[in-house]
Amino acid sequence: MLRFLFSRLATFFVTFVGVTLISFAFIRVIPGDPIIVMAGERGMSQERYEELSRQYGFDQPLLTQFWDYLTGVLQGDLGQSFVTKKPVWDEFFALFPATLELSLCAIILAIALGIPAGVIAAVNRGKFFDRALMSSALVGYSMPIFWWALLLIIVFSGNLGWTPVSGRMGLLYYFPTPTGFMLIDSLLSGQDGAFTSAIRHLILPTIVLATIPLAVIARQTRSAMLEVLSEDYIRTARAKGLKPWRINGLHALRNAMIPVITVIGLSVGTLLAGAILTETIFSWPGIGKWMVDSIFRRDYPVVQGGLLLVAVVVMIVNLIVDMLYGLINPRIRTRK
Amino acid sequence: MTDMTEAAATAPKRPGRLAEFWQYFSENRGAVIGMWTFGILVLLALLADVIAPHSATEQFREATLQPPVWQEGGSWTFPLGTDPLGRDMLSRLLYGARFSFFVGMVVVVIAATGGILLGLVAGFAPKWLDTVIMRLMDIILSFPSLLLALVLVAILGPSLLNAMIAISVVLQPHYVRLTRAAVINERTRDYVVSARVAGAKLPRLMFITVLPNCLAPIIVQAALSFSNAILDVAALGFLGMGAQPPTPEWGTMLAEAREFILRAWWVVTLPGLAILITVLSINLMGDGLRDALDPKLKRS
C-alpha cells in the first residue's frame, strides 16, 4: 500500500508541475502583450510600460519567470485580477463554496437516483422497467444541458412560477455567510423563509448539473450489476434461498459498486465542466461563471489562476478516489 | 437470418466479418433506429440547399418571431416559424445540421489520428517516452474538458475552426489511452512476436500487424467523441465562444434566442431538440457498436 501511495503521489506531483506549466504558458501565448491589454483603450507611456513589465517580471528570462510563478503558486500567490485588483486566490475561495454546494447537491442527487435506477434495470433485465430506465438514461446522457436548463426555466419558472430564474438567495434576505453554503448559512441566520428560498434557488441548477452524472451512474450500475449477477456466488446465494432483495441489495451491489465508484470520481471533471454552463445560465455566483466572465473581460490573471486551481481540485479528487479504490480493491494496488 | 443459414449450409465457413458484425448490431433495436435517424439527418444536411425554403441568413423583417405553422399566426411560408430577426427557423436548422456533422467529423478525424499515433508510439516506445506521453495526457485530462476548450478558444480567438481545434485537443487523450492499452495487450501475443521474428520493421508492426486488432474500442470511442464534439461545439457556441452569428450553428442559435425564452418557445426549443436528436441517434449507434464489437459482452 505504501508503495502504491508513493507512486501515486509522485505522479500527482509531476502532473501538478505540468498543469502549472500550462497555466504559466497561457498568459504568454495569448496574442498581444498582456500589459498592453491591461492598459486597455487608453494606452500608456513607455516608462509606465517598463515599470509594469518589471512589476510583473516580464523582463526576466522565461525560466526565472516560471520558477517565480511556481514558488508563488505554492505560497498561494496567483497574482491579482486586472479588473477587481483583488488577489486571484481570495476571489477563488470566496466563490468556491457556491460551486461546491451546487456540485455536492448534484452528485448526491445523481447517486441517490442513479444507483437504484441501475439496480432496478439490471434486476429486470430486458423487461419494461429496464427499457424505460435505460432509454431515459440515454436521453439524459445525450442532453445538451444548457438547453435542458432553458426548458426547465420555461416550464418551472416561466409557466408555473415555482422557482426563481437565477441567483442563490431571494433579495429579501440578507445575512452573514460564515460557511459560504447557503443551505447552512440560511439556517444559521434564523430568518423565516431564508432556508426555503435557498432550496428553491438550488433545485433547478441541481437537476441540470446532475443530469449527465445521473445517466452515467445509472448505466454503469446496471452493467456492473449484470456482470456480478452472473457470478457463481450469486447463484449460491440464490440456491441457499436468500431473499432476492438481500441478494441484489447486499451481495451483488457491494461488488458492483467498485466500477461505479470510479465513475463517480471521474464525474468531478464533468461536474466542473457542467458548472460552467449551469452557473452561466442560472447566474450562480460560482467558479464556472467567474471563469467565463473573466475570459470575456480578458482578465488574464484570473483565467490563468482559475484554470490552475480548478485543475488542482480535479487532481486532488482523483487522487482521493484512487486511494479509496486501492483500499477497496487490493488488486489495484499490487498492479504494476 | 435465412441468408445466413443458407450460406452456412453451402459453405462451411464463418460468415464474413461484416455479416457477423451486422448480425450483432441489428440485434440491438435501438442501434438500428439510431442508424436510420442518423442517416436521415445526414441526408437532410446534405440536401439543405434543395429542401430549405429560404436562405439561412435572409431576414424577413415583416415576419419576426412568427410561430410555427400549426400554431395560431403561423403560415406555410415559415413551417417552423421565424427567429427574432425574421429568419426562417427550418432553413437555419437544416443548414445548422451541416455544421454539426462537419464539426463532428473533423474533430473525430483530428483527435483519432493524433491519438492513435501517439498511443501506438507510447505502446511501442521505450519506457521513458511512454511515461512522457502518458503524463502529458494526464495533464490534459486534469482540466475539465469544456474549461480547457474555452481557454484554448480564448487564446486562439472565437470561431468555429478554433472551437474544433480546441475540442480535438481535449478529446485526444482518450484515444491515446485506449490505443496504448490495446497495443500493450497485443504486443506480447504470439502473432506479433512471429511477425517481429520474420523481420517486420517497426512501422509495419505498428500499423499493419497490431493496429487492426486494436480498432474495436477505438471505433466505439469515435462514436462517443462524435457526439461529444457536437455537444461541446454547441456549448461553446452557446457561450459565445464558438461559431459567431449569423452562422446558423445550433448552439449559437440558442444563445441568440435566450432572451425570448418566455415569449417564443420555438426559437429555444427547436435548436436544442435538433442537438438532442442528433446526439441521441449517435449514442444509440455507439451502444450498438459496442455490443457488436466487444467480444466480452457478446452472448453474455
Domain coordinates in residue numbering, chain B: 41-297
Q: Among A103-112, A154-163, B285-294, which range has the highest average pLDDT?
A: A103-112
* Out of A67-71, A130-134, B20-24, B100-104, least confident range: B20-24
Q: Is B70 exposed, middle or buried (0-12, 13-18, 19+ CB in 10 A)?
A: exposed
A124: in domain: yes
CA–CA dist A55, A63 (Å, integer): 17
Q: Does residue B154 register a pLDDT over 50?
A: yes
pLDDT at A289 (0 to 100)? 92
Region A264-289 average pLDDT:
88
CATH superfamily for B41-297 is MetI-like (1.10.3720.10)
Range A303-319 average pLDDT: 89
Q: Quick one: cell of B223?
A: 462514436
If asked whether residues A265 and A150 sit together in one domain, one would say yes
A168 and A27 part of one domain: no
The verdict on whether omega for the bond into residue B246 sits within 30 degrees of 0, i.e. cis, is yes
Containing A199, the helix (H) or strand (E) segment is helix A194-229
Rounded-to-integer distance, Cα A218 and Cα A224, Å: 10
Residues A187 and A296 in one domain: yes
Does residue B295 carry a pLDDT above 70? Answer: no
- Residue A162 in domain: yes
Give the model's pLDDT for residue B1.
Answer: 43
pLDDT at B274 exceeding the cut of 80: yes
| Chain A contact set for B139 (CB, 8 A) | 15, 18-19, 22
Taking CA atoms, what residue in B is nearest to A15?
B139
Q: Do A273 and B251 touch (CB under 8 A)?
A: no
The owner of cell 431576414 is B59
Q: pLDDT band at A23, cuts 50/70/90?
A: confident
Helix crossing, A253-282 with A287-296: angle to 10°? 40
**Cell numbers 500527482: residue:** A12
In a domain? residue A140: yes
Q: How far apart are the C-alpha atoms of A143 and A145, rounded to whole Å?
A: 5
Instruction: Report the pLDDT averaged over residues B258-273.
Output: 86
Say whether both A243 and A295 belong to one domain: yes
Return the pLDDT at A32: 66
- Mean pLDDT, chain A, as a whole number? 85
Contact B235 A29 (CB under 8 A): no
Q: Is B38 on the interface with A (CB under 8 A)?
A: no
Q: Over pLDDT 90: what percentage of chain B?
A: 33
What is the residue-wise DSSP string for A113-125?
Answer: HHHHHHHHHHHTT
Instruction: From residue B208, give the alpha-carbon distance in Å to each of A100, B201, B215, B220, B298.
Output: 49, 10, 12, 20, 26
State ipTM: 0.85
**Enclosing domain of residue A43:** 2-74
d(CA A222, CA A134): 9
Q: How far apart are CA A261 and CA A322, in angstroms?
A: 10
**B24-48: b or e for each residue (b if 16 or more CB lie within 10 Å)?**
bbeebebbeebbebbeebeebbeeb
What CATH number did the domain enclosing A196 receive? 1.10.3720.10
| Boundary residue ending a domain (A74, A102, A131) | A74
Asked if the structure places residue A79 within a domain, the reply is no
- Split into its structural domains, chain A has a count of 2
The whole-chain average pLDDT of chain B stands at 86
Residue A42 confidence (pLDDT) above 70: no
Check CB contact under 8 Å for B251 and A272. no
pLDDT in tens, B199-209: 888 888 888 88
Residues A43 and A95 in one domain: no
Give the per-residue pLDDT at A212: 93
Chain-chain contact of B261 with A141 (C-beta, under 8 angstroms): no
Contacts of B203 (CB under 8 A, 6+ apart): none
| Contact (Cβ atoms closer than 8 angstroms) between residue A98 and residue A204 | no
Domain boundary, last residue among A41, A74, A107: A74
A197 and A318: one domain?
A: yes
Name residues 170-209 of chain B within 8 A of A (Cβ): none
Return d(Cα A51, Cα B70) in angstroms, integer.
Answer: 66
| Statement to judge: residues A196 and A236 lie in one domain | yes
Q: What pLDDT does B2 receive?
A: 47
pLDDT value of position B11: 52
Whether A9 and A93 map to the same domain: the answer is: no
HSE, CB side, 13 Å, CA atoms: give it for residue B285: 20
Q: A83 lies in a domain?
A: no
Query: What mean pLDDT do residues A189-207 have?
Result: 87
- Is B155 at the interface with chain A, CB within 8 A? yes
Distance CA A254, CA A205 (A): 31
CA–CA separation, A73 and A180 (whole Å): 24
CA distance B278 to B283: 9
In angstroms, the CA A287 to CA A272 distance is: 9
Q: Do B268 and A151 touch (CB under 8 A)?
A: yes
A187 and A98 share one domain: yes
Domain boundary among A32, A48, A74: A74
Say yes or no for a CB contact (<8 Å) between A291 and B147.
yes
Whole-angstrom distance, CA of residue B150 vs CA of residue B166? 8
The C-alpha cell that represents B141 in the structure block: 485530462
Looking at the partner chain, which of A227, A273, A303 has a beta carbon nearest the beta carbon of B144?
A273
Report yes or no: B91 at the A interface, CB cutoff 8 Å: no
Q: Alpha helix locations (H) across chain B? A: 2-10, 17-27, 29-46, 48-51, 89-124, 127-142, 145-156, 160-187, 190-197, 202-204, 211-238, 250-257, 265-293
**pLDDT over threshold 90, residue B121:** yes
| Band (A210; pLDDT cuts 50, 70, 90) | very high
Q: How many other CB atoms are there within 10 angstroms of residue A320's CB atom? A: 12
Domain identity same for A124 and A272: yes
Distance between CA atoms of B99 and B250, rounded to whole angstroms? Answer: 8
**Range with lowest mean pLDDT among A14-18, A32-36, A306-310, B6-10:** B6-10
Same domain, A98 and A53: no
Q: Which of A262-266, B3-7, B70-74, B77-81 has the lowest mean pLDDT?
A: B3-7
pLDDT surpasses 80 at B173: yes
Chain A contact for B143, CB < 8 A? yes
Cα torsion angle, A109, A111, A116, A117, sign = positive
Cβ contacts of B172 within 8 Å, gap of 6 or more: B110, B111, B114, B115, B118, B137, B140
Q: How far apart are CA B84 and CA B91, in angstroms?
A: 15
State whether A105 and A65 are in the same domain. no
Whole-angstrom distance, CA of residue B244 vs CA of residue B247: 6
Interface with A, mutate which of B151, B162, B225 (most A CBs under 10 A): B151
> What is the H or E stretch that residue A110 is in?
helix A88-123
Give the per-residue pLDDT at B298.
47
